[in-house]
């Protein structure tokens, strides 16, 4: 355990699940003066995404896409939307997952990285291990 050191980098994004992407994106624009991207359907992730850039990080608004969307259940429980996950950057996902396993943290799915919304490998960590917060780790390729 002594060898466990921090392996997280900057906060890459906060993802918020919303029932109506256009409505939320336009309110972010009108009320917060935010610059929002066009909606991007990500078929293989079962979501449509709007990116909202801010000087030090970004917010991703997620709307379900297709019948088996991974955020469908979340929106059933939170019909008005809500924070779905936060994403930290890591330099090396393999090192990070070894540390996580040593610490007893659970990696979701088969434990193997998948290619995420930005084309980089990602892992998701069990929310029960992190105060109810789903955490995504994204390996940043420079």
Q: Would you tell me which residues interact with Co ion (CB under 5 A)?
A: 15, 87, 136
CB nearer to Co ion: give 61 or 100: 61
Minimum gap (Å) between residue 109 Cβ and Co ion:
14
CB nearer to Co ion: give 12 or 28: 12
The Cα–Cα gap between 138 and 128 comes to 19
Of the residues 3, 44, 76, 136, only one is catalytic, namely 136
CB nearer to Co ion: give 15 or 123: 15
SS3 readout for 24-50: HHHHHHHHHCCEECCCEEEHHHCEEEE
Integer angstrom CA distances of residue 37 from 9, 116, 126, 137: 24, 18, 29, 23
Minimum gap (Å) between residue 26 Cβ and Co ion:
22
Q: Is 136 a catalytic residue?
A: yes
- DSSP state for residue 107 in the 8-state scheme: B
Residues designated as active site = 136
């Amino acid at each position: 355990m002594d060898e466990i050191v921090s392996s997280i980098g900057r906060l890459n994004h906060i993802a918020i699940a919303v029932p109506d992407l256009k409505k939320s994106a336009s309110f972010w624009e009108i009320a917060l003066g935010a610059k929002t991207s066009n909606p991007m359907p990500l078929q293989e992730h079962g979501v449509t995404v709007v990116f909202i850039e801010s000087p030090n990080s970004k917010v991703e608004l997620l709307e379900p896409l297709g019948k088996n969307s991974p955020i469908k259940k979340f929106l059933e429980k939170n019909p008005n939307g809500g924070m779905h996950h936060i994403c930290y950057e890591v330099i090396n996902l393999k090192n990070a997952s070894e540390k996580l396993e040593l610490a007893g943290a659970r990696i979701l799915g088969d434990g193997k990285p998948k290619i995420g919304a930005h084309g980089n490998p990602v892992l998701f960590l069990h929310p029960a291990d992190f105060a109810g917060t789903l955490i995504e780790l994204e390996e940043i390729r420079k």
